[in-house]
Structure 1
Amino acid sequence: MSTLRERNRKAAHTEIRDTAIRLFMDQGFENTTIEQIAAAVGMSPRTFFRYFATKEDIVVGDLVGLGEVVLSALQARPPQEGPWEAMVAALAALADAPETPRHALETALLTTANPSLRARHLEKHVRWQELLVPEIERRMGIEPDPVPDPRAHAIVGACLTCLDTAMEIWARRNGEGTLEEIYLEAFTAIRS
């Protein structure tokens, strides 16, 4: 059970994020300042930084946490399942993430339209590589080594590229279809 303090912090985090996303969608990411976001939620810019380290983190800040969701889903896959199939199924678990389709679409639209957000998004995917490659190596029967196996690294990288491609296409379609369908279409093209 969370404490009152934790619930209040989470509520403030959500309010800041929702307000900032609305401002980004209305004014553009680059044209929206931290000062404007802070004023819109009734706090100082200094207090804002207790919740988010950067403006980019408002949009892509929870990606590392989602990487942990993918890792858990990957570890839960049947041991006899191949690495490709396991990765695809694990990434499909993102469809069950708690964010709403509107939130996911706004994130996709903002990320694909803004170079600094895109760079931050790709930076977070590097962390996903670090999380997921050891599990793919284990699944492939590869002994742990400080240097990742190129085969495992390529499998994870290809699957993440399919995910990024799907996100961009989904954003260009303005949310038409599902991200998972587009991801599976991209993945199938790579595997054929």
Structure 2
Amino acid sequence: MVKTTAWDRQREAVREEITQTAIDLFLRQGFDATTIDQILEQVGVSRRSFFRYFGTKEDVVLGDLVSRGVAIAEALARRPAQEEPWDAIRAAFHEAQEISALDKQSTLALGRMLFDTPSLLARHVEKRLRWQELLVPLIAARLPSGGDRDLQAHAIVASALSCLDAASRAWLRSSGEAELGDLYDQAVAAVRR
């Protein structure tokens, strides 16, 4: 077990305060209309401190996206080896709570902001590419020998992530009324026809 120090807890508290303040401003004013200086003024930290926690303004919203990819990869690695790749990915998404919205209102607001803000969407796609790097070897190991397993695994993972994005957009259009997991299943069924 890794012990957290008082310094670690303090750093996490500051990071969380910056994140919450920034997101509140983004949702009130819009992402592009909110400046880093406005966030700094509200939180009372220096520009240098901000960039110690976040590489870009987009990372305030998407900062945990890479760690969510790691959680999916860990869930996928725990799936039974004989499980079909698409089923294993779905189960890993479910376990990592990628296909279930926990807090409907904030998830709706953040999702709309993400898909409506080009710079956020671009950074989201960039971070999602890291998910592919994590997931492709795990899917390739599940495929039968013969053929180009790496190519097949890339195609499956890229398709699954596209299905996740399509389901997320449909969920937003439904104002959170549709079941995200059902929408994901519908998107996968369309791809696998």
After TM superposition, the score normalised by the length of structure 1 is 0.89
Partner of 2:39: 37
Contact 2:143 2:149 in 1 (8 A): no
Q: SS state of the match for residue 97, structure 2?
A: helix
Q: 1:84 aligns with which of 86, 89, 96?
A: 86
Q: Taking structure 1 as reference, are residues 137 and 104 closer, same or farther at Cα in structure 2, changes over 3 Å only?
A: same
Partner of 2:141: 138
Cα drift, residue 46 of structure 1: 2.1
Paired residue total: 188
Contact 1:133 1:148 in 2 (8 A): no
Identity %: 47
Cα drift, residue 148 of structure 1: 7.0
Q: Taking structure 1 as reference, are residues 158 and 21 closer, same or farther at Cα in structure 2, changes over 3 Å only?
A: same
* Mapping for residues 29-178 of structure 1, pairs under 5 Å: 29-95=31-97, 100-101=102-103, 102-142=105-145, 149-178=150-179
After the TM superposition, which segments of 4 or more aligned residues of structure 1 sit over 6 Å from their partners? Answer: none
Distance 2:163 2:156 in 1: 11
Q: Taking structure 1 as reference, are residues 112 and 61 closer, same or farther at Cα in structure 2, changes over 3 Å only?
A: same
Distance 1:174 1:22 in 2: 20
Q: SS state of the match for residue 95, structure 1?
A: coil
Measured against aligned partners, the alpha-carbon deviations of 1:94-142 in whole angstroms (never above 9, x if no partner) come to 3279x95244333312211101111111111111111111111111145
Distance 1:76 1:28 in 2: 40
Return 124-133 or 38-47, whichever deviates more: 38-47
Contact 1:60 1:107 in 2 (8 A): no
What residue ranges of structure 1 are gaps of 5+ in the alignment?
none
Distance 1:181 1:15 in 2: 34
Return 158-167 or 182-191, whichever deviates more: 182-191
Which residue identity is paired with 1:189?
A
Partner of 2:185: 184
Distance 1:174 1:35 in 2: 32
Measured against aligned partners, the alpha-carbon deviations of 1:42-83 in whole angstroms (never above 9, x if no partner) come to 112222111111000011121111111110111111111111
Contact 1:20 1:37 in 2 (8 A): yes
Contact 1:70 1:90 in 2 (8 A): yes
Contact 1:29 1:114 in 2 (8 A): yes
Contact 1:21 1:106 in 2 (8 A): no
Which residue identity is paired with 2:77?
Q
Return 173-182 or 40-49, whichever deviates more: 173-182
Contact 1:73 1:90 in 2 (8 A): yes
Which residue identity is paired with 2:31?
F
